[in-house]
Amino acid sequence: MSLYGFDLSRLSEEIKPARVILRPGIRGAYAALDREGTAAALLPSNPLFLSRFDPVEVLEGKKRWIKNRRGELAAVEGWRQAASDLLARPMDAKERRRLAAASLKDMNERARTLARLMGLSIDDWRIVNCHGASRIGWCSAAEKTLAFHMFSCLFPEEHRGYLAVHELSHIRHFDHSKAFWSEVGRYCPDYKSLRKEIKTMHYLLCRANFPARFDREIMYFAPAHKK
Ligand SMILES: [Zn+2]
């Protein structure tokens, strides 16, 4: 195996298309996927470490992981097409402010309506935007505050409903216990798929808007199995 000629011809068909990415500063190997769903073996560029890994083995060992992540990308493909403008570049400050205001208005009304349906009293609660790249929403009983992502108005209607139900359910259940999920499921039966999809959408939006915090090439990565 030469540094420039990785032979991926032995790869199973279902893993293709695939490529090799060499990275300085890593010692281990990872299986990775870019935003288009192309698989990659992410290997250390240092030849000392590189010689320990076979990219075909790295990818074959993560075949099921690759299939699942591709499935997650495929599940939001329609939304991705529709939002392709927004996903291609960071939004400017004006656009962010407009989206934050629209998100706050929408989630405020949505959460208050759903709270009544769920038998919760949140009249004295604050509903705010949460910013940044980390969480899509949070709930603080101590501060009587619910927060929803500043870009949440960009998620489809049913995903916004799920988001509101999720955070409202934290008022009764602080954790992600069985009881919590059964409460979520009562008001949002499709929560399992909606949850996965909203995470993927959020991740795609964050990757476009916080380029310093996210890898430009890689969407997902996972450590390769040890031999
Ligand atoms: Zn939660």
The Cα-based distances of 12 to 15, 62, 69, 157, 222 in angstroms read 6, 12, 17, 39, 19
The mean predicted confidence, pLDDT, of the chain is: 92
The amino acid occupying position 224 is A
φ and ψ of 76, to 5 deg: -110, 20
Give percent of the chain above pLDDT 70.
Answer: 97
DSSP state of 146: E
- 171 CA to centre of ligand 1 in angstroms: 10
- 106 CA to centre of ligand 1 in angstroms: 20
Q: Please give the Cα distance from 219 to 21 (Å, whole number).
A: 13
* Segment 103-120 mean pLDDT: 97
pLDDT tens readout for residues 156-209 = 999 999 999 999 999 999 999 999 999 999 999 999 999 999 999 998 988 888
> What is the predicted pLDDT for the residue at 211?
78
Instruction: Beginning with the edge strand found earlier in the chain, give each strand of the sheet holding 18-23 in spatial order.
Output: 18-23, 39-44, 30-33, 220-223
Give the CATH number of domain 91-209; options: 3.30.2010.10, 3.90.650.10, 2.60.120.620, 3.40.50.970. 3.30.2010.10
- 183 CA to centre of ligand 1 in angstroms: 12
> What is the predicted pLDDT for the residue at 1?
45
Tokens of 182: 């059964």
- 222 CA to centre of ligand 1 in angstroms: 23
- 164 CA to centre of ligand 1 in angstroms: 10
Q: Which residues contact 73 (CB under 8 A, 6 or more apart)?
A: 33, 35, 37, 80, 200, 219
Domain ranges, ordered by start, for the chain: 13-79+216-223, 91-209
Tokens of 196: 């996965």
DSSP state of 142: T
* Segment 48-61 mean pLDDT: 94
- 145 CA to centre of ligand 1 in angstroms: 14
Q: What pTM value is reported for the model? A: 0.86
Say whether pLDDT at 216 is over 80.
no
- 94 CA to centre of ligand 1 in angstroms: 30
Instruction: Beginning with the edge strand found earlier in the chain, give each strand of the sheet holding 145-149 in spatial order.
Output: 126-130, 145-149, 137-140
Say whether pLDDT at 34 is over 50.
yes
Say whether pLDDT at 25 is over 60.
yes
- 42 CA to centre of ligand 1 in angstroms: 32
